[in-house]
Amino acid sequence: MSVKILAIGDVCGEPGLRFLTERLKPYRKENEIDFVVANGENANVVGVTPKQADTILHAGVDVITLGNHTWTRTELRPYLDERRKILRPANYGPQCPGRGIAAFSTPFGDVCVLNLLGRFTLDNNTDNPFVIADGYMAEIREKIILVDFHAEGTSEKRAMGFLLDGRASAVWGTHTHVQTSDACVLPGGTGYITDLGMTGSIHSVLGIDPRQSIGKFMGDPPRRYESGKGPCKMEGCIFTINPDTGRCLNAEAVRIL
Ligand code: FE2
């Protein structure tokens, strides 16, 4: 017996939310996906509001993970405390609202999801994600363990994959929004990909209108980011997992157009 877990790359702005709402449920049914985790921290382009988080969950996502923009929308803070289906990075201080790790009951057993934030060029006010992840692995009792490592550095993300190899069922990277071509099962049986990619406008710079992004690099004064327009995509990775052992049998990057 095996189960299919779909991890979806950062949902970007209204175009990403709309595409997810249109496409996820039929895709989930067609491909017999058992459980879905999506990174939602760019649903408001920067950050996510409670309403947008609800939209992601209604679209067919079981658990939302976040990252460096967790605190941008202050109205999300009570929502993080109230709702179990949304996680913020576990390596933020214990005084922060919400939680970074949780177990979810499913027909195929309990699934543990852990969200972590990298420190390379990101928020250095976090605890060391490697030490935190290593500590959690000794404590988690669930067979299926899924880890979203929201980080900038490919080296950081690959190192996390190898640190958790043989202990987590799947480790994936988010945040850089460009899907990498290294989906694999690591030697110890952990499914891995450095970055899932993104859900939103295809002809964009990480979800942002290219003209605006070019302007920024040309030296324009800062202004509010706007989503790219036109056709969209949904990118991610399907991990096929043996629920009895928690080991990954196959990891396949996917792009839905
Ligand atoms: Fe991010």
Predicted pLDDT of residue 65: 98
The Cα–Cα gap between 66 and 129 comes to 14
The Cα–Cα gap between 53 and 51 comes to 5
Q: Which of 69, 150, 175, 177 does the annotation list as catalytic?
A: 69
Q: Has 69 been annotated as catalytic?
A: yes
59 to 20, 53, 132, 201, 239: CA distances (angstroms): 6, 10, 31, 18, 20
Query: In angstroms, what is the span from residue 66 Cα to ligand 1's centroid?
Result: 8
Residues near 131 by Cβ (< 8 Å), separated by ≥ 6?
none
Distance of CA 29 to the CA centre of its chain: 21
Query: In angstroms, what is the span from residue 89 Cα to ligand 1's centroid?
Result: 11
pLDDT digits (tens, 9 = 90+) for 97-114: 999 999 999 999 999 999
| C-alpha torsion angle, residues 115, 59, 181, 148 (rounded to 10) | 0
State the maximum Cα–Cα separation within the chain, in Å, rounded to a whole number: 55
Distance of CA 191 to the CA centre of its chain: 14
Residue with tokens 């880890």: 147
Query: In angstroms, what is the span from residue 245 Cα to ligand 1's centroid?
Result: 32
Query: In angstroms, what is the span from residue 159 Cα to ligand 1's centroid?
Result: 19
Task: Output the pTM of the full model.
Answer: 0.97
> Does residue 115 contact residue 87 with C-beta atoms inside 8 Å?
yes
Query: In angstroms, what is the span from residue 129 Cα to ligand 1's centroid?
Result: 15
The Cα–Cα gap between 177 and 35 comes to 21
Tell me the residues surrounding ligand 1 (ion) with CB < 5 Å: 67-68, 175
Structure tokens at 13: 């702005």
Query: In angstroms, what is the span from residue 183 Cα to ligand 1's centroid?
Result: 20
pLDDT digits (tens, 9 = 90+) for 130-152: 999 999 999 999 999 999 999 99
pLDDT digits (tens, 9 = 90+) for 44-58: 999 999 999 999 999
